[in-house]
Amino acid sequence: MQIILASQSPRRRELLERMGLAPFSVIPARGEEIADPALSPPELVEELSRRKAAEVASSHPDSLVIAADTVVSIDGLVLGKPRSEEDAVRMLSRLSGREHTVYTGLTLRLGSRADTGHEAALVRFRPLSPADIDHYVATGEPMDKAGAYGIQGYGAMLVEGIQGDYYNVMGLPVCRLARMLADFGLDPLAMAAAKER
């Protein structure tokens, strides 16, 4: 079965490879991510992942499409990717010394069959000085990441603790994905075991 990752995220690609799902194709969804303010963060990430999967599946109906969308939520606000360095500074200042929730919506689609769910993780930042924030933004890392940080990079130095799936914070809840794949007849653990035999 051909697998397509509907994302250009190098982190999601790396995690699929770690799960032993290679080879797979990468065909990012091109549709604009328009957030409906009436949706809760879990509903939002599920809806956005559904749209991405549907877009890519429409031209690849015989492939298993994996789509995901991640946001950070704090104080009732949804933080996506920063639009500028100033926006990244604002986001990081809001997260400083506080807890926030990272939501990732995940959709698998094969033909007309689709399964959607989400994962949530609670992340606690250490207090950040203005210099900490400026230095981190100067690395460039925050600019393509929800909430303006990447836990797998320099952003790890900002995080004091996590409750939930670490990989969810990276943008792909691996445990949930493995269970969903099994429902589509692909068991990554069984595949890994077969490779070792």
Q: Reply yes or no on whether the pLDDT at 184 is more than 90.
A: yes
What is the model's pLDDT at position 116?
98
Question: What region, left, alpha or beta, does residue 75 occupy, with left being phi > 0 and alpha being psi -120 to 50 degrees?
Answer: left
Active site residues: 69
Q: Could you tell me the CATH number of the domain that includes residue 178? A: 3.90.950.10
Per residue in 93-151, pLDDT (tens digit) is 999 999 999 999 999 999 999 999 999 999 999 999 999 999 999 999 999 999 999 99
What is the model's pLDDT at position 130?
98
Residue 196 binned pLDDT confidence (cut-offs 50, 70, 90):
confident
% residues pLDDT > 70 (the chain): 99
What is the model's pLDDT at position 22?
86
For the ranges 34-48, 54-68, 170-184, the lowest mean pLDDT is seen at 34-48
Per residue in 21-36, pLDDT (tens digit) is 989 999 999 876 777 8
What end-to-end distance do the CA atoms of the chain give, in Å? Answer: 21
Domain that holds residue 126: 3-196
The backbone torsions φ and ψ at residue 66, rounded to the nearest 5 degrees and listed phi first, read: -115, 120
- Count structural domains, the chain: 1
Rounded CA gap, 55 and 50, in Å?
9
Contact (CB, 8 A) for 3 and 53: no
Contact (CB, 8 A) for 5 and 24: yes
Give me the chain's average pLDDT, please: 94
Mean pLDDT of 176-181: 96
